[in-house]
Structure 1
């Protein structure tokens, strides 16, 4: 359960950053951010893997860049279901998906799946005198 809550919080944060940075992407209201975060998680868990499999040749030919198009499609799909989430065309969806991907990737890297900040401690074997 903590992993789900962390993932939801990361999705909401990523959508908030994209909303602030991407012209043509508008999410109105805190409730819409929460619903969009939930729906993005569901869409990424159920629809995205099927699309990734079906578009594998394009993804290989573009050296993985086609995944951004799929991410834009997932963001567009979420916006279809939510009235207060608008995207003005494919460029807004593309740049929004890029910002969401970068933000959620960086946040997931900094925050572990358990919700704690992972730190690496290096101790020297030499004693200070």
Structure 2
């Protein structure tokens, strides 16, 4: 159950980022039931990729860049989150999933939206670890 909530949280955050940020998008139909039928499997797969990238790659990058994180009082974490979103976009492109992140600033905007949405959804759903 915890995995499903985690995956849905990532999917909601990604969908919101694709809706709000111009350079973060899913390709395919853009309206009606065809859009939903085409995009929901892709959304779940990209959410899974983002979760794996965030769980595996991000801690290593954060540890290696710890001096930058400290000097910037944590703002460098935003750059790391943007890089994780760009890596997810690259992996999705390699797997031909129909998800794109167009550039660094789009990734930064998407990372901000994803972070905020994750906080909001976690606040509503609750955290089992508490």
Question: Structure 2 length normalisation: TM-score?
Answer: 0.83
The alpha carbon displacement at 1:93 in A equals 0.5
The alpha carbon displacement at 1:27 in A equals 1.6
Bigger CA radius of gyration: 1
Query: What's the counterpart of residue 44 of structure 1?
Result: 54
- Which stretches of structure 1, 4 residues or more, deviate above 2 A after TM superposition? none
Q: In structure 1, the residue corresponding to 2:25 is in which secondary structure?
A: strand
Point out the more displaced range, 78-87 or 41-50: 78-87
Query: What's the counterpart of residue 2 of structure 2?
Result: 3
Q: Provide the alpha-carbon RMSD of the alignment.
A: 1.0
> Higher helix share goes to which structure?
2
Unaligned runs of 5+ in 1: 115-129
Unaligned runs of 5+ in 2: 28-38
Query: What's the counterpart of residue 117 of structure 1?
Result: none
Query: What's the counterpart of residue 115 of structure 2?
Result: 101
Equivalent pairs, count: 113
Question: Structure 1 length normalisation: TM-score?
Answer: 0.83
